[in-house]
Amino acid sequence: MEKVVILIPREKDHFHSDLYIEKKEFTDVSINGEEVYSLYKTDTEFLFILLRKFGQKTNTEYWIEEKLIELDKILSIKFPQNDRIIAIHWGGMENSTALINYILPKTDASFKLINGTAYLTFYSDSNDQIRTKTNGAIYKFLLARLKILSFAYLKKMIIKLWLPLAIDIQGLSEVQNDTVKADEYFAEVKNETEYLESLKSFPKDDDFPRWAEIRDKNGYKEFDFKKFLDALTNNDFGLLLNSTNYLRVEEEETEEIKKLKNEVAELEKKSNEEEYEKKKKELEEKMKNPNFLPNWLQDVVGVIDEKIKESSKPKD
């Protein structure tokens, strides 16, 4: 379930109305008897807003981490690693030059992950301008942006969690005919218990958008990431080998690839950069092992990219 946690430092109370959330019920939060925050919590949506203090000296990342610790210690709101949290770090100072245009096109560029936490920085210097730009519905605007960010976050998490395993699978596929080496390699991989365990928690089935479509299109018929993971954690190299087609050695170099390789080498010598890059790309495409897991991963993230693009389109 997604959740919203909005934490507003006491000295920034005016943000209640700026965010158009004034109708929501806030709880006063005290630290050492002094009211320092207004807190709004709900379990229906997913948003975590932090407002940066004026003249803050610390690095943004440290500051957010500090606030997360504060939330945990003082308010008992826990943000475990890999939980999907997006903190919106609302910066900006009074009496500044207009930079509202900076907000809309560049927000994704500011998207980062810190210890499993995603945060987005919104810069503002005039709340009036933000209100105008977002037709007054700042809160609505933030939630809309959040939808996009959730996809972006999903993409990063899928890559972050599955890429290491993908590299191991590729490595195993290349040594599988050398029994001693394969056993040794496999032993090392399955020894990564903490990492393998983390894969079970994420992604969930729903996190694979249009998986069936991708699977059918690319012929990943035998791939089942759960089965695959089970085979790994159960030390079953045989099952891994037989039940998936991801441990196939790369195809032998075809005549076509040999020819392409020669052409690329010639073009490199001739310093024909444009043509060289074009041919190089063609060669790389041809040399891709269609069964290599990152290709599959690329398809999954490609679909997420499409969703991000769709969500970014202006709605009538």
Partner 1 sequence: MDSTGNKYLFYTKEYSPLFTSLQRYFNYILKQELNLLSQIELLTSTNAILVYQEERENPDLLKIVANNSNIKIIVVGFDSNSSLNLIDFSNIKNNLSKIICSEGSQQRQVFTEIELIDKIQNFFKGHGEESIFQVLNAVMYCFQNYEFYKSGGLTDEEYKDYYVAPAKSQWEKFLIRFDKYKVYLRLLRYNVEVSEIDNYCVILDEFVKNSSELIEVQETEDENNLAKVKKNLGLIKKIDYFFTTISNKLGLMDAPIQSPGS
Q: How many residues bind partner 1 (CB under 8 A)?
A: 47
Please identify, using beta-carbon distances, which residue of 117 and 150 lies nearer to partner 1. 117
Q: Which residues are 38's β-sheet partners? A: 8, 28
Question: Do β-strands 27-31 and 4-9 pair in parallel, antiparallel, or remain unpaired?
Answer: unpaired
Q: Is 250 in the site for partner 1 (CB under 8 A)?
A: yes
Q: Which residues are 118's β-sheet partners? A: 86, 113
Q: Is 298 in the site for partner 1 (CB under 8 A)?
A: yes
Closest distance to partner 1 from the beta carbon of 35 (Å): 26
The separation between CA 2 and the C-alpha centre of its own chain, rounded to angstroms, equals 16
Please identify, using beta-carbon distances, which residue of 42 and 198 lies nearer to partner 1. 198
Closest distance to partner 1 from the beta carbon of 76 (Å): 25
Select from 33-41, 169-177, 204-212, 219-227 the region that touches partner 1 (CB under 8 A).
169-177
Footprint of partner 1 on residues 183-212 (CB under 8 A)? 184-185, 188-189, 192, 195
Q: Which residue, 213, 184, 190, is CA-closest to 306?
A: 213
Footprint of partner 1 on residues 87-146 (CB under 8 A)? 91-93, 96-97, 99, 102, 112-113, 115, 121, 123-125
User: What x-and-dash track marks residues 147-166 binding partner 1 by CB under 8 A?
Assistant: ---------x--xx--xxxx
Please identify, using beta-carbon distances, which residue of 23 and 57 lies nearer to partner 1. 57
Q: Is 300 in the site for partner 1 (CB under 8 A)?
A: no
Closest distance to partner 1 from the beta carbon of 250 (Å): 7
Closest distance to partner 1 from the beta carbon of 172 (Å): 9
Contact 82/116 with Cβ under 8 angstroms? yes
The separation between CA 279 and the C-alpha centre of its own chain, rounded to angstroms, equals 32
Selected from 33, 55, 105, 314, the binder of partner 1 by CB under 8 A is 55
Q: Is 301 in the site for partner 1 (CB under 8 A)?
A: yes
Select from 6-14, 51-59, 71-79, 200-208 the region that touches partner 1 (CB under 8 A).
51-59
Please identify, using beta-carbon distances, which residue of 34 and 94 lies nearer to partner 1. 94
Footprint of partner 1 on residues 57-76 (CB under 8 A)? 57, 59
State how far the Cα of 280 lies from the Cα of 267, in Å rounded to an integer: 9
Please identify, using beta-carbon distances, which residue of 9 and 116 lies nearer to partner 1. 116
Footprint of partner 1 (CB under 8 A): 55, 57, 59, 91-93, 96-97, 99, 102, 112-113, 115, 121, 123-125, 156, 159-160, 163-168, 170-171, 174-175, 181, 184-185, 188-189, 192, 195, 250, 284, 287-288, 292, 294-295, 297-298, 301
